[in-house]
Each structure stands twice: as structure tokens, then as C-alpha cells.
Amino acid sequence: MKRQVPLIITFLIGMIMIFSFFIPPLEGLEQTCSLFFDVIAVFAFFLGGGNLMRIHINKLRRRKKDWGFSIVTLGGFIIMLAAGLLKIGNPGGIAASPTTEGALLQEIFTYVFLPLQSTMYALLAFFVASASYRAFRAKNREATILLIAAFVILLGRTPFGMMLTAWIPESFSVLQVPNMAIWIMNSPNLAGQRAIMIGIGLGVISMSLRLILGIERTYLGDESA
């Protein structure tokens, strides 16, 4: 009941998905499964929200470290949820898209969600810089190759690359940095990416097979429960 049923479900659904790829009459079935998945995916969002609530309410109860911030989280969560589910301030009413201009959801998105998320990723710019300063060292042959390639691309992606090597005649134009960058992207990079892609692809394929056949059960979590 706790372990067998899930394994059977995985097996059946997996098989449907595989066979319907080759057997046209099964396409309809496959599509229904996909639609089921989409619906379940939404419940997964709900689960995420539920988990969040639970964790932060616990934090509040136990007065754990930084419990004050849990109030912020819960507050934001509840306000946004109300704005979203009740379509507060949505000019189009219940039928309109939840993200209509002027709806509270859209407002919060524009003025709170957007700056927060994009700034978080903007932090990465700084870390790239500091990584290139302290970590990007020609320690050995491999590192050196990596460094040179990176340098050429960096140069080739900026107009400076063109300025520096514009004097090179057309008959040697591949030596112009931008062209070199393009060539690296189109040939060695493509080759390397393809090798990795095939490798990982095979990994994914065999893992999928193991999952469908029920050999791989880690995703089921702890045995005891």
C-alpha cells in the first residue's frame, strides 16, 4: 500500500508516456495524463505555500532565531494570496486575467516582487567579478586553456575586440577577435556541449528507465513512514 502502489503508478504512467510516443491511438491518453499532471502541479504550488506557512508558524511559536522575520514572510504571503485569489482591485472583475494592469496582484508584482527577485540575481554580477579576480587562476594546463577561451570570448563579446584587431586583413579575418569568438562558440564549444549533452542525456535516459522499472526508489523517501 505504502510502497507497492506508488511503484505500480510510476510504472503504468511511464509506460503510457513511452508507448504513446510510438502508437498514435494512445496519444489521447498521453494528453490526458499530461493534463492531470498540470492540475497536480498546481496542488504542488499549494503544498509549497502550506509548507511555508507551517515552517514559519512553528518558528513563531517556538520563538526561534529571527522569528520576527517570519511575521514578514507570513504577512507578505497572506496579503499576496488575498490579492491573487480574490482578484482585489482587478478592473476586469472575476473573468479577467489575474495580472490585468491595475489589479493589486500586478501592482505588488511590479513594485515588490520584481525589484526583489531581479536585484537578488543582480548580486551575481558582483560575485562573477570577485571570482574572476581571486579564483580565475592559471593553476594548471586545463585551467589555462579555460582561461584563454574565456578571455577570447570576453573580448569578442565587446566592441573592443573589434577595435583591437580591425587592422587584420580580410584574408586572415578569422584571427579577428570577434570572429575567433564566434568560431570558438560554433566549433569547440559546440563539440564540448554536445559531448556533455549526450553523456547527461544517457544518464537521464537510464535513470528514467530505472525509475519506471521501479529499481530506483529514492524519491519515495524514508522507508519507515
Partner 1 sequence: MRRSTIIVMAAVFGLFILSWILRSTSLASVQEHYLIGGLKVTFSAFLTLAILSFLYKDNPFYKFAEHLFVGISAAFWMSMGFWTTIVGNLIPRLSRSLSEFFQVPYQPGSYNFVYFIPVILGIMLLMRLSSKYGWFARWPLAFIVGTFAGLNFVRYLRSDFVEQVSATFVPLLVGWQGVGHFVSNFSLSASGQFVAIVGNWVIFLGVICGIIYFFFSKEHKGAFGAASRVGIWILMITFGASFGYTVMGRISLLVGRITFLFRDWLNLIS
Partner 2 sequence: MKHKSLVILLFIFCAFTLSAAQEDAAPVDTVQVDSILPPAPVSMLTAKDGENDHGHSITLRWELSADDGAGQNSVLSYEIFRWVPFFMDTLQSIQDSLEQTEAYIAELRTFLPRAEKRLKEYRKRKKPKLVIVIFVDSTQFYEDTIAASKRLLPEYEEQLKQLRQWRKQAIDEIPQAHTSYPEQGEWRKVGTALSGQANFKDVGVKERKSHDYMADHTDYYYRVDAVTADPAIRASSEIVGPVQSYGQLFNTGRIPVFVAVLVFCLLTILFVTRARRGAELYVRPLAGIEAVDDAIGRATEMGKPILYVLGLGTAADIGTIASFTILGRVAKRVAEYQTKLIVPCYDPIVMTVAQETVKAAYLDAGRPDDYYEDIVYFVTQSQFAYVAAVNGTMLRELPATNMYMGVFFAESLILAETGALAGSIQIAGTDQVAQLPFFIVACDYTLIGEELYAASAYLGREPILLGSLKAQDYAKAAVIILAALGLLAASLDWTAFINLFSVTS
Partner 3 sequence: MLDTAFSIPLVALSDIGRVISLLVIGGGLLWILIRSLRAKEVDRRIVFLFIFIAVAAPILFPITFQERATLIVKRVFDKVESSPAGSKVLLAFDFDPAMAPEVQPMADAFSRHCLEKGHKVIFMTLWATGQALLTQSLERVVRGEYPDKLDGVDYINLGFKAGNENVLNIIVTDFRMMFPTDVNGVPLDSTSIFDDVKSCKDLDLIIAIGGGKPGVKEWVLYIGDRVNVPMAAGVAAVVAPQLYPYYPKQLLGLLGGVKGAAEYESELVKWYPHLKERGTPGLRMMGPQTLAHMVVMAFIVIGNISYFISRRRERIQ
Q: Say if CB 151 and CB 160 are below 8 A apart.
A: no
- Contact in structure between 142 and 158 (CB atoms under 8 Å): no
In contact, 177 and 164? CB cutoff 8 Å: yes
Torsions phi, psi of 138, nearest 5? -80, 70
110 binds partner 3 (CB under 8 A): yes
In the bound state with partner 2, the residue whose beta carbon lies nearer, of 170 and 223, is 223
Write out the H or E segment, with its range, that includes residue 4.
helix 4-22
| Binding range to partner 3, per CB under 8 A, among 8-16, 61-69, 132-140, 211-219 | 132-140
User: Residue 191 and residue 149: Cα distance in Å, rounded?
Assistant: 14
Of 76-84, 101-109, 129-137, 156-164, which segment contacts partner 2 by CB under 8 A? 129-137
Contact residue for partner 1 among 40, 57, 163, 166 (CB under 8 A): 40
Cβ-based nearer residue to partner 2, 38 or 170: 38
- Which of 18, 26, 100, 168 touches partner 3 (CB under 8 A)? 100
Which residues between 162 and 201 bind partner 2 (CB under 8 A)? Answer: 193, 196-200
Write down the least CB distance from residue 170 to partner 1, Å.
6
- Whether 80 and 105 have beta carbons less than 8 Å apart is answered as yes
Q: Helix or strand or coil: residue 216?
A: coil
Q: How many Å is the maximal CA-CA distance in the chain?
A: 74
Minimum gap (Å) between residue 132 Cβ and partner 3: 5
Is 118 a binder of partner 3 (CB under 8 A)? yes
Q: Is 134 in the site for partner 2 (CB under 8 A)?
A: yes
